[in-house]
Structure 1
Amino acid sequence: MSASPPSFLHTLKRLSLVTQIVIGLIAGIALALLAPEVAKSTTFIGQVFVSALKAVAPILVFVLVMASIANHKHGQETHIRPILFLYLLGTFAAAAVAVFASYLFPSSLVLVTHDIAVSAPGGITEVLQSLVLSMVDNPIRALMNANFIGILAWAIGMGIAIRHAGETTRGVLDDLSKGVTVIVRVVIRFAPLGIFGLVASTLATSGFDALLGYLHLLAVLIGCMLFVALVMNPLIVFWKIRRNPFPLVLTCLRESGLTAFFTRSSAANIPINMELSKRLGLHEDTYSVSIPLGATINMAGAAITITVLTLAAVHTLGIVVDLPTAVLLSVVAAVCACGASGVAGGSLLLIPLACSLFGIPSEIAMQVVAVGFIIGVLQDSAETALNSSTDVLFTAAACLAKEDKNSASA
């Protein structure tokens, strides 16, 4: 008796996760085009997936960072310093690209008053104060509100303290981190279904008609992000590992950037990046700290968004600003963006700060923020994809460079 052919679900299960996500993406687009009303009803599926990722991300970061530090052995290399340098270098390079693109292809805005309630920081001092207050937040409240600055601070502090505890205590913490990782893997397995719901409902509900009037601005934004992802980041990685960077770059874009594009949340993409780092064979002691850290401070996409939109306002108002000043002020604003990274549209909320540095009044700056929300369907997605995929990319580059150095000296 011949064996029956495998079922469709069994065949689908045997495909790689990335292939399954692509199938979910295509199915979502098809449903939005063929049956828009049905596609709108898939909103719940996408919301469940994103909510599950956001729910598991804070406890994942807290437990993994704490366990990693608590079980860290003296003399064991974590490569965090070179990763931090790459994060800062990538942010600066992204801001520089955005400045030059804004001068080569200047954008003009129709600044009309929009009734949008936005709470933006009043200045750099306020942003830095907020950052410090986030670090000393109540740990329970930090976990409940997904305050990743506070979560990281408490995880690092608890990890250092537990390093002096007994072997049994550290073993229990290690087992707890493995248990959380299992739950994360289960959530990630539902990524294709979640992406299907997100794509179908977004296309059916929002569409792209509202974006037509801002195509030039959007083209500059997306063009800068693509240039950074496919040119600047590969150059930085090549400088670090001294070999062809594109296999690593494309892997990170495909397996991290694709998911981040549709979840539009760096925090929600932390579990995805953790899983990818593990598959790449990176040191757990390194990526368990660098990935959540990157989700809060690695802001290349935010640097581009803040720079392009602010300089669009500068061009519209006829304000003359020299290139070095534009780069410096954009980087300052992008670095400060970590204080608002946990807020939806966090980079947009820093635009009034950047505009104030150019002498633009808040009434006009808030209109620029409104423009950002209008094009946010694509801008925020592309920004998150660049930010999140770069977290893994630079972590992997630092680890590979260290391995090559160790091999050469052996």
Structure 2
Amino acid sequence: MKEKKKLGLVPKLIIAIILGILIGQFLPEEICRIVVTLSGLFSSFLKFVIPLMILAYVTMGIADLSQGAGKLLLITVALAYGSTLIAGTASFLVSINLFPSFMSADALDQIAATADASLSPYFSISLQAILDTLSAVALAFILGLCLSSMRGKQIGNSLYNGMAEFSKIIDKVLHTVIIPLLPLYICGTFVDMTKSGKTFAILSILWKVFLVVIVMHLICILIQFVIAGAVSKKNPFELIKNQVPGYTTALGTQSSAATIPVNLECAKNDGVCEQIRNFVVPLCANIHMAGSMITITACATAVCLMNQLPISLGTVIPFIMTLGVAMVASPGAPGGSIMTALPFLYMIFGAEAGDPDGAICAIMVALYITQDSFGTACNVSGDNAIGVIVNTIYERFIKKEA
């Protein structure tokens, strides 16, 4: 008996957007408010879970870095973080110069005119988070760094094992509640936007943003493999050809973690030795987020321009630097990176517009996840470019020393 194919998250979100537009366009306000109420309840739960998600994933991501091999670990982390920062900065510079030409004065005026025309829910629940997001990040850094340096030396494994199990609990919540209900969240947002009259003005802009982001991903992959080819003295186009299976797998799974087995084969075809590829590929699947950073930065820039919020390199750089660390070990599920990024969007949007359960952040989630496959594919492709570079350094310098 053939197993039924499950509908992926991106098709579900596209359906949710279409349903939201149809409900907002044709159904009475009373029905629309029901959808908005359900979406708002989910938003409150999401706001509660986000700090717990940060605490679980960032703590374990940092704690597990101790399992690397000294110099190679530092080199790999530096390359991954540097790549992520450069990709995000380049994405902002391209976006801030290109996106304004997409945005007509009429569309911006239409969006601005409907700013206060949102539907109100029938009721809401005030669900306070146990930790605020900054406290969660600080605690995660403290726990992660101490566990990585003290485990097995000054303390045992009890706290590490406890955090690992807590991480699995949060992962279960993400897969069984957060991800499945995201379409409802997005549907409610588009019901509200359609009823208030801003949907079509926004969509006329977003499809152009989508195309630019995909082109930036492809250019990023090309640059990474050209650098890897130059360092290793290998043909970069041959390296890119070897990466095709990993790229297409990531497009289908939307998960860096799920692509690891295929990506290891790609690394083998690139001539990366077993010791290095078994270390670099799984590690970079958790810490190298260049594609995701390109998407998040471009989407944030577009949203700021659409809503006439101030944005500059001075506000974007701290955001990219923070997110480059916070996305360490972001969930291996569709939308994991944007879920991790949500609590930090206030750094760009401001406290009010950057509310994780607000409409602007909901637009960010929708826009990001429709491009998540391409961002993930860019991430995993860059992982193997880093693998080629690390392998070259290992063979030329570290292996000889040993």
Alignment length (residue pairs): 287
What's 1:181 paired with?
none
Question: Post-superposition shift, 1:315?
Answer: 1.9
TM-score between both structures, scaled by the size of structure 2: 0.57
What's 2:264 paired with?
274
Match of 2:6 among 32, 36, 43: 43
Paired AA for residue 225 in structure 2: P
Contact 1:349/1:369 (8 A) holds in 2: no
Contact 2:292/2:375 (8 A) holds in 1: yes
Paired AA for residue 305 in structure 1: T
Question: Post-superposition shift, 1:87?
Answer: 0.8
Question: Post-superposition shift, 1:360?
Answer: 1.9
What's 2:288 paired with?
298
What's 1:129 paired with?
139
Distance change (3 Å), C-alpha of 1:130 and 1:345? farther
Question: Post-superposition shift, 1:262?
Answer: 0.6
Question: Post-superposition shift, 1:294?
Answer: 0.9
Give CA deviations for 1:147-191 in whole Å, capped at 9, x if unaligned: 999xxxxxxxxxxxxxxxxxxxxxxxxxxxxxxxxxxxxxxxxxx
Counting only pairs closer than 5 Å after superposition, residues 141-220 of structure 1 correspond to structure 2 as 142=164, 213=204, 214-220=206-212
Identity of aligned residues (%): 22
What's 1:383 paired with?
375
User: What SS class does the counterpart of residue 99 from structure 2 fall into?
Assistant: coil
Paired AA for residue 139 in structure 1: N
Distance change (3 Å), C-alpha of 1:327 and 1:258? same
What's 1:88 paired with?
81
User: What SS class does the counterpart of residue 374 from structure 1 fall into?
Assistant: helix
Distance change (3 Å), C-alpha of 1:382 and 1:240? same
TM-score between both structures, scaled by the size of structure 1: 0.56
Paired AA for residue 76 in structure 2: I
Paired AA for residue 84 in structure 1: V
Contact 1:102/1:311 (8 A) holds in 2: yes
Give CA deviations for 1:80-115 in whole Å, capped at 9, x if unaligned: 333222212211221122111211222668579699
Contact 2:258/2:332 (8 A) holds in 1: no
Question: Post-superposition shift, 1:122?
Answer: 4.6
Paired AA for residue 96 in structure 2: Y
RMSD (Å) for aligned C-alpha atoms = 4.5
User: What SS class does the counterpart of residue 340 from structure 1 fall into?
Assistant: coil
Return 5+ residue gaps in structure 1 as ranges.
Answer: 1-38, 47-64, 150-209
What's 1:360 paired with?
350
Question: Post-superposition shift, 1:251?
Answer: 1.8
Question: Post-superposition shift, 1:399?
Answer: 0.7
Question: Post-superposition shift, 1:121?
Answer: 8.8
Distance change (3 Å), C-alpha of 1:241 and 1:280? closer
Contact 1:352/1:362 (8 A) holds in 2: no
User: What SS class does the counterpart of residue 105 from structure 1 fall into?
Assistant: helix
Paired AA for residue 72 in structure 2: H
Separation in 1, partners of 2:221, 2:74: 22
Contact 2:255/2:333 (8 A) holds in 1: no
Separation in 1, partners of 2:239, 2:8: 31
Return 5+ residue gaps in structure 2 as ranges.
Answer: 10-63, 148-158, 172-199
1:79 equivalenced with 2:72 (yes/no): yes
What's 1:179 paired with?
none
Give CA deviations for 1:55-90 in whole Å, capped at 9, x if unaligned: xxxxxxxxxx99x97xx9xxxx97333322221221
Distance change (3 Å), C-alpha of 1:364 and 1:356? closer
What's 1:333 paired with?
323
1:399 equivalenced with 2:362 (yes/no): no
Separation in 2, partners of 1:257, 1:95: 20
